[in-house]
């Protein structure tokens, strides 16, 4: 039975392993390809050991049918829906560090940014509901399971959300390869939101004025832009180093 109407589809070895680790018995179902291999057998044992009630070995064709075209690596799961934060949660967070995404439409980039946000700094991820990649199995897989621990906030208007965060005292910095000042030379303490634009257009015309200032990651005259997830990783690491130096 395909329960995708009520549960969230999770596809791939690492995403499913992470979903089992985080949700345990809250997972509705884990389906593992019937072909016996050490990796697939280990996933089955792990799911059973963590209390997943429905663990089943099925034919590869059944996984193909249910995986929505995403490479499943022999395993899929159905888990609880993602819990999204309200913007008010971010506004109230005095230690806020967030990545805001402006029209990132590639699910691979979106998922990789989430992985960087969670893995490097435990940062929240904020994005507008229009002109952005959807929360999909492909995006979950690209996050390599980080989506299960991510602090996610989807808003009707990213521009309005950035204005509300600024009014609440957060510093909003847009990343722009042509900005005169490098990020590492700026004060990065306090609540902070780093805004990343799309690879093709950069920061949109509606988003740029909502940023208090612009900063670059690269030396002037080098590459025009970076992949969104690479930019997120470099920017978050820069913030962490800056705060470590400031606090020492």
Q: The domain at 8-79 falls in which architecture?
A: 2-Layer Sandwich (3.30)
Only one residue has tokens 């690269």, namely 218
187 by Cβ neighbours in 10 Å (0-12 / 13-18 / 19+) ranks as exposed
Strand 55-58 relative to strand 97-102, pairing: unpaired
User: 164 near 108, Cβ under 8 Å?
Assistant: no
Residues of the chain with pLDDT below 50 are 222-223
pLDDT at position 224 is 57
pLDDT at position 247 is 80
User: 126 near 98, Cβ under 8 Å?
Assistant: yes
Rounded-to-integer distance, Cα 111 and Cα 168, Å:
28
Q: Which residues contact 162 (CB under 8 A, 6 or more apart)?
A: 100, 172, 193, 195, 207, 210, 211
Taking only the tens place, the pLDDT of each residue in 140-168 is: 999 999 999 999 999 999 999 999 999 99
Alpha helices in 117-200 (DSSP H): 137-142, 158-167
Q: The domain at 87-247 falls in which architecture?
A: 3-Layer(aba) Sandwich (3.40)
User: 192 near 98, Cβ under 8 Å?
Assistant: yes
pLDDT at position 54 is 96
User: 114 near 143, Cβ under 8 Å?
Assistant: yes
196 φ, ψ to 5°? -115, 130
Rounded-to-integer distance, Cα 221 and Cα 203, Å:
19
pLDDT at position 7 is 92
User: 138 near 107, Cβ under 8 Å?
Assistant: yes
| Domains in the chain: boundaries | 8-79, 87-247
Extract the tokens encoding 243.
Answer: 């705060």
């Amino acid at each position: 039975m395909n329960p995708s109407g009520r549960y969230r589809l999770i596809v791939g070895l690492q995403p499913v392993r992470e979903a089992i680790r985080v949700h345990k018995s809250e997972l509705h179902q884990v389906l593992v390809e019937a072909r016996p291999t050490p990796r697939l057998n280990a996933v089955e044992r792990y799911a059973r050991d963590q209390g997943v009630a429905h663990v089943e070995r099925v034919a590869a064709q059944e996984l193909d049918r249910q995986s929505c075209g995403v490479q499943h690596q022999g395993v899929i799961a159905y888990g609880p829906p993602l819990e999204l934060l309200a913007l008010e949660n971010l506004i109230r967070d005095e230690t806020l560090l967030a990545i805001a995404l402006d029209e990132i439409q590639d699910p691979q980039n979106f998922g990789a940014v989430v992985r960087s946000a969670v893995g490097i700094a435990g940062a929240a991820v904020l994005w507008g509901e229009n002109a952005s990649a959807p929360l999909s199995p492909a995006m979950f897989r690209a996050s390599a399971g980080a989506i299960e621990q991510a602090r996610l906030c989807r808003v009707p208007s990213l521009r309005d959300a950035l204005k509300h965060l600024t009014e609440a005292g957060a510093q909003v910095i847009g990343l722009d390869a042509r900005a005169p000042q490098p990020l590492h030379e700026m004060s990065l303490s306090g609540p902070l939101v780093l805004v990343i634009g799309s690879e093709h257009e950069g920061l949109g015309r509606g988003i740029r004025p909502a940023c208090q200032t612009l900063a670059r990651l690269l030396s002037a005259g080098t590459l025009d832009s970076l992949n969104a997830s690479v930019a997120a990783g470099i920017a978050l690491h820069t913030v962490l180093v800056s705060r470590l130096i400031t606090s020492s």
